[in-house]
Amino acid sequence: MASIRLKEQFECNTRTATAVTTSRSLHCDITMDNHSAIIDEPPERGGEDDGATPLLHFAASFASCQAIQVAKVAQAMRIEYGQIKIDVTLDTARSVGRENDTRIIRFVGAKMVINVESSASDAKLARLETLAIDRCPIGALLDDAAVETAVVWNNLPLSESKL
């Protein structure tokens, strides 16, 4: 079982999402502020495949959270960049649930490949990597849950159309 590490809290913000499903359906209509999404399971797991699964949404949340942090830090550092592409893979395994006779899916590992197009120096891009990875709350959640994330950071040349 993972250990819980509490961090000092400086401020607290609240984000709210609501999921609605109906009898005999796994299709969930999700609302988040003024946004909406559909989450479902594939037919082999009882759904209709109307939307991505909850775990795929979590992977997408991790990838997009990190992409936004890389962009925000690059902008603050005044680094010129082109495309930022992040591929996330989450590994899961079934293990004992809260009751010994149940099995649940748990995260057991993650991999994140970050590709950043930029003409900035290697030193500046190394600093960008350190600062950006530290700022993603989804990554921090996995870290706090003792899920190791392997990170591959690739500095790519800025495409000529961006120069």
Percentage of the chain surpassing pLDDT 70?
Answer: 93
The angle, 0 to 180 degrees and rounded to 10, between the axes of the packed helices 54-76 and 137-144 is 120
> Per DSSP, which regions of the chain are E strands?
18-20, 28-32, 35-39, 81-96, 103-118, 149-156
- Residue 4 φ then ψ, to 5°: -100, 130
Distance CA 40, CA 33 (A): 20
Instruction: Say how far residue 12 (Cα) sits from the centre of its chain.
Output: 20
Q: Which of 37, 42, 8, 40 is nearest to 27 (CA)?
A: 40
Q: Is residue 6 packed enough to be buried (19+ CB in 10 Å), middle (13-18) or exposed (0-12)?
A: exposed
How do the domains of the chain map onto residue ranges? 1-52, 53-162
Name the β-bridge partners of 86.
Answer: 114
Contact criterion met (CB below 8 Å) for 53 and 39 = yes
Query: How confident is residue 102, by pLDDT bands cut at 50, 70 and 90?
Result: confident
- Structure-block tokens of residue 106: 């748990």
For the stretch 40-96, pLDDT in tens is 999 999 999 999 999 999 999 999 999 999 999 999 999 999 999 999 999 999 988
In the block, which residue shows the tokens 């950043």?
A: 116
Q: Which CATH architecture has domain 53-162?
A: 2-Layer Sandwich (3.30)
Query: How confident is residue 121, by pLDDT bands cut at 50, 70 and 90?
Result: very high
Contact criterion met (CB below 8 Å) for 80 and 120 = yes
Question: Which pLDDT score is estimated for 3?
Answer: 58
pTM for this entry: 0.87
3-state secondary structure of 129: helix
